[in-house]
Amino acid sequence: MLTLGGKPLLEGVELSVAPGARICLVGRNGSGKSTLLRIAAGELESDAGTRFLQPGASLRYLPQEPEFSGFKTTAAYVEAGLGPLDDPHVATTLLLELGLTGEEDPSNLSGGEARRAALARALAPEPDILLLDEPTNHLDLPTILWLEEKLGSVRSAMVIISHDRRFLQDLTRETVWIDRGRARHLARGFKEFEPWRDRELEEEEKQAHKQERKIANEEHWLRHGVSGRRKRNMKRLAGLHALRAEHRNRVMPTGEVKLEASEANLSGKLVIEAIKVSKSYGERTIVENFTTRILRGDRLGVVGANGAGKTTLIKLLTGVLPPDSGKVRLGAALEMATLDQSRASLRPETTLQDALTGGGSDTVEINGERRHVVGYMRDFLFKPEQARTPIGKLSGGERGRLMLARALAKPSNLLVLDEPTNDLDLETLDLLEEMLADYPGTLIVVSHDRDFLDRIATSVLMSDGAGRWVEYAGGYSDMVAQRGKGVEARGAATREAPKEKGPKEKPAERQPARVKLSFKEQHALTTLPAKMEELKVKRTKLQALLDDPELYSKDPGRFAKASEMFAAVENELSAAEEQWLELEIKREEIEG
């Protein structure tokens, strides 16, 4: 049992992990899934109950936000998780398979790099039990496919929390549902969970209805019983009071998120037309000779490995970034709303109310009607007392719902969503999919969630490397069927992604070591670190400028120029980091 703020978060919950078990832990955001996993890992003490770990059994826990303080390199961080009998070479191999060298400074890691380092630390000891909290967050599709294959082959028992349906379907054989502080167990994997959950809730509703009818009958007897009785049946009266108390104290299912997009007037039939568009940063080509037409009502999914240039492509298509060559034409009467995966526009000190209203108001306009911000917050499962809560205090799931609330409040006929599924629970994902299905405008979505793309995309645009982008009809599974394989990793620094069909490939095949680095490569290896630091300083300054909420209204031209410069610096930094990483790996191969 665990109580937070006077109300039990978990009550009488049991979690038992047998050798070789594959368990998914599911429930709404805030239901206590991560808390239960922390208790099981020994990171948090419960108010009551016991935690027992078989003597001699090893356990590793992957938190949502790993702690890297005190470690100078990712290799040091991973090796600190090894036991005295564990092989340090396994840690090195895992880092390389995950696209890391081990020399990275943990303080400078991106979200995806931090997640990969944390995965290497959890997997390297090959423990008896793995507790994984959102292991696919911030990972690209090649890494998710690699992780599925890796977890499918290890002997460890697992408990997994994830919003990725396909990931859970492929890996789990048991389900524990945390609902209103209690745990319900299904001796089947996630594939069977949702129909079972719906049946459970339906049966609960039937029982509640029967209870209401019984109370009504008992109250009728109490009021209109046999008039000759001078003394009521006290036992029956006590039973009625008990029924009322039970009904009154019944915990209702968590309310549903109410997703409704503010709709602008219909756009023209042609939404976006790109003709022979190309974009490069230095020697790195992001988009080359790309042509497409997006029509009103299209649902375009964009997929590719991290660093393939998905965000840059979206900025080119929406006119935020000019192409080096070619032409982008936007249709008439476009009203665009965007959801940014980085959530950089969410300043930690801004309150929830100000983030939704823009500040200085207590109302928000939805489809031409003014609504009080507290009522709109309730649609996204926020409580009235959270109106003044700083964004920095919100959980990942709450920040995800806030970003959706902001994007959907803006009138639009073109929705651009960059990783909208991050940190959302499965029920909210269901409702988001339903809302997008009914949305009358056009949708462009960048996502690594295969199931989400299968449900909402009418076509998928995929990076085929070297700036080539190919469009396939249908969702992600249709793309795999047409292409014969899924999304592959890019760059020499990453391993080959496991194919979804065909024979298994050898992991991490490398080019033969060179005799020595060329003068140009040696010079680049020496000068790139200083260049990367300079670019990081520029990025920080531009981010501070863009964080000013009044910049756009005061000086739209300056805002547009700063946005363009920020995108250019971001891409130049990414290219520099990748070039340095490739050269460093070559140097290590030559030297040893």
408-419 tens-digit pLDDT: 788 888 999 888
Confidence of residue 90 (pLDDT cuts 50, 70, 90): very high
Most distant CA atoms of the chain, gap in Å:
110
Reference 294, options 327, 263, 337, 331; nearest CA is: 331
**Confidence band, pLDDT 50/70/90 cuts, at residue 440:** confident
Whether residues 400 and 534 fall in one domain: no
Average pLDDT over residues 185-214: 85
Q: What share of the chain is helix, strand, coil (3-state, %, to 5)?
A: 40, 20, 40
CATH number of the domain where residue 373 is located: 3.40.50.300
Rounded to an integer, what distance in angstroms lies between the CA atom of residue 585 and that of residue 576?
A: 14
Same domain, 440 and 391: yes
In a domain, 265, yes or no: no
The reply to whether 173 falls in a domain is yes
Instruction: Please tell me whether residues 554 and 448 are part of one structural domain.
Output: no
SS3 state at 288: strand
- Residue 433: closest CA among 340, 445, 423: 445
- Whether residue 28 sits in one domain with residue 12: yes
Please indicate, yes or no, whether residues 429 and 304 belong to a single structural domain of this protein: yes
Per the CB < 8 A criterion, the answer to whether 8 and 183 are in contact is no
In-domain check, residue 500: no
DSSP 208-244: HHHHHHHHHHHHHHHHHS-TT-SS--HHHHHHHHHHH
Tokens of 162: 């994830």
Weakest mean pLDDT among 7-16, 91-100, 338-347, 364-373: 338-347
| Angle at the Cα of 339 from the Cα atoms of 286 and 420, rounded to 5 degrees | 90
Q: 225: pLDDT confidence band, cut at 50, 70 and 90? A: low
What pTM value is reported for the model?
Answer: 0.68
510 within domain boundaries = no
73, 19: one domain: yes
Together in a domain, 415 and 280:
yes
CATH number at residue 535: 1.10.287
Asked which of 158, 176, 195 is the last residue of a domain, the reply is 195
Q: What is the 3-state secondary structure (H, E, C) of 61-121?
A: EECCCCCCCCCCCHHHHHHCCCCCCCCHHHHHHHHHHCCCCCCCCHHHCCHHHHHHHHHHH
Confidence band for 508, pLDDT divided at 50, 70 and 90: very low
Q: How far are the Cα atoms of 214, 330, 401, 462, 495 from residue 468, in angstroms, in the given order?
A: 67, 22, 34, 8, 20
- pLDDT higher for 421 or 469? 469
Residue 134 in any domain: the answer is: yes
Domain count of the chain?
4
Residue (of 573, 577, 572, 567) closest to 311 by Cα position: 567
Amino acid letter, 504: K
Query: Which range, 53-57, 205-209, 267-271, 430-434, has the best average confidence (pLDDT)?
Result: 53-57
571 class by beta-carbon count within 10 Å (0-12 exposed, 13-18 middle, 19+ buried)? buried
On whether both 30 and 171 belong to a single domain, the answer is: yes
Range(s) of the domain holding residue 81 = 2-195
Cβ pair 4, 44 in contact under 8 A = no
Mark whether 402 and 447 lie in a shared domain. yes
Confidence (pLDDT) at 354: 87
| Tokens (6 digits) for 115 | 């997640």
Torsion sign, CA atoms 550, 556, 558, 559:
positive
What span, in angstroms and rounded, lies between the C-alpha atoms of 373 and 351? 12
* 159 and 52 inside one domain: yes
Look at residue 513 and tell me if it is in a domain: no
461 & 584 share domain: no
Q: Is residue 255 part of a domain?
A: no
Tell me: the pLDDT tens digits for 94-120?
999 998 999 999 988 888 899 999 999
Domain assignment of residue 306, yes or no: yes
User: Is there a single domain that holds both residue 8 and residue 74?
Assistant: yes
